Amino acid sequence: MFTFHPSLTTLGAGTSPLFYRTGRETPSMKLLPKALLGLLLLSFTWNISQADMLTSEVIFGSGNTNENFTVSRSNGIEIGMRAKTRYPTPSNSDQSGSLGYSLNEGDYYFANPTDASQPLRGSWNLDWSVNSDYLGTSGDVLSAYDYELAISFAPESGMGAAPSIDFDPLFPINDNWYGTNSTPNGGGQVGNKSPFAFALDDLNNVAQNSTNVGFFGFFPNPADVSTPGIYTIVLSVLENDVVLASNQINVYAGVNPPVAVPEPTSMAIFGLGALGLIGGAARKRMKRNRESSPA
């Protein structure tokens, strides 16, 4: 699954070391490896391969802009998902920015699970997009692959319903919107009208939709949609039961989200800044040693 966590990269065989020693160690050689190796590894290994825009346009409905998606790309396949405010006033973003939160990639936040105007629906919608040929080079249409959308819920209190469901979002009878990389905004063909989804799968490489956890009986008791908790949503593309691409988002509904990690650029700047500061200290130390040494 495409959860985007930084991983520690180690130097492999044939890789030039960051620091090397020849002969007697100078003060700078002693100082730099101990103080900076961790910082440099940290600054060079934060690589988050995500974007907030789809390669295609948003082709379903109207008023839906191409932004705030969590996007993964693998094997020529692109998967995009976002959680956006649906009630009381629709928007193309979650509520994290307006409420002062800076979230990790793939996390979305809503202050309340539901809204009084629609108590049996989530206050948010899930927008998803699958593109079987985002590069426009393979010619693969949607019917070349299988699909699975998995949603699980963990209530904040640890008590009550904790449902989960997985299904094929491109099942033959659906109301998805279909198109290609060049389909304009809102210009997709809907799958519940002729020529219908099973035929559109053979003609297109993009399928999208917007849904709500209150729509399809996700909770055994519909009123449970008002329970605060965390939704984990994973969309995968498979071929012969082998996962070729996958993406995951986490929706915090009525639950405080985790603190965001530093941005990769910030981490690199921090590491380089520390390199300059400590390198300067090393040079000063070397100068003092030379000045105090006998000629």
DSSP 120-131: EEESEEEEEEEE
The answer on pLDDT for 21 being more than 60 is: no
Q: What is the average per-residue pLDDT within 47-70?
A: 85
pLDDT bucket at 216, cuts 50 / 70 / 90: confident
State whether 167 and 86 are in the same domain.
Answer: yes
Q: What is the average per-residue pLDDT within 158-162?
A: 80
Specify if 12 maps to a domain: no
Specify if 14 maps to a domain: no
What is residue 53's predicted lDDT score, i.e. its pLDDT? 97
The answer on pLDDT for 17 being more than 50 is: no
State whether 225 and 272 are in the same domain.
Answer: no
23 torsion bin: left (phi>0), alpha (psi -120 to 50), beta (else): left
- What is the count of structural domains for the chain? 2
Query: Using CA atoms, how far apart are residues 220 and 83, in angstroms rounded to an integer?
Result: 22
Specify if 56 maps to a domain: no
Q: Which of 12-21, 44-53, 80-89, 125-134 has the lowest mean pLDDT?
A: 12-21
The answer on pLDDT for 25 being more than 80 is: no
Query: Using CA atoms, how far apart are residues 98 and 178, in angstroms rounded to an integer?
Result: 32
Q: What is the average per-residue pLDDT within 56-84?
A: 97
What is residue 157's predicted lDDT score, i.e. its pLDDT? 83
pLDDT bucket at 35, cuts 50 / 70 / 90: very low
State whether 107 and 195 are in the same domain.
Answer: yes
What is residue 261's predicted lDDT score, i.e. its pLDDT? 63
CB 31 within 8 A of CB 278: yes
Specify if 247 maps to a domain: yes
State whether 112 and 246 are in the same domain.
Answer: yes
Query: Using CA atoms, how far apart are residues 188 and 29, in angstroms rounded to an integer?
Result: 62
State whether 169 and 269 are in the same domain.
Answer: no
Q: What is the average per-residue pLDDT within 5-33?
A: 31
State whether 230 and 99 are in the same domain.
Answer: yes
pLDDT bucket at 263, cuts 50 / 70 / 90: low
Specify if 89 maps to a domain: yes
Better-scored residue on pLDDT, 237 or 265: 237
The answer on pLDDT for 293 being more than 60 is: no
Specify if 39 maps to a domain: no
Its pTM stands at 0.73
Specify if 24 maps to a domain: no
pLDDT bucket at 116, cuts 50 / 70 / 90: very high
pLDDT bucket at 264, cuts 50 / 70 / 90: low
What is residue 159's predicted lDDT score, i.e. its pLDDT? 76
Specify if 258 maps to a domain: no
Q: Which of 61-75, 231-245, 260-274 has the lowest mean pLDDT?
A: 260-274
The answer on pLDDT for 175 being more than 80 is: yes
State whether 110 and 245 are in the same domain.
Answer: yes
- Which residues form the domain of 279? 263-289
State whether 105 and 232 are in the same domain.
Answer: yes
State whether 283 and 164 are in the same domain.
Answer: no
Q: What is the average per-residue pLDDT within 61-66?
A: 96
pLDDT bucket at 44, cuts 50 / 70 / 90: very low
State whether 191 and 276 are in the same domain.
Answer: no
Q: Percent of the chain having pLDDT more than 90?
A: 64
Query: Using CA atoms, how far apart are residues 228 and 105, in angstroms rounded to an integer?
Result: 21
Sign of CA dihedral 107, 232, 73, 262: positive
State whether 240 and 271 are in the same domain.
Answer: no
Query: Using CA atoms, how far apart are residues 132 and 142, in angstroms rounded to an integer?
Result: 6
State whether 103 and 240 are in the same domain.
Answer: yes
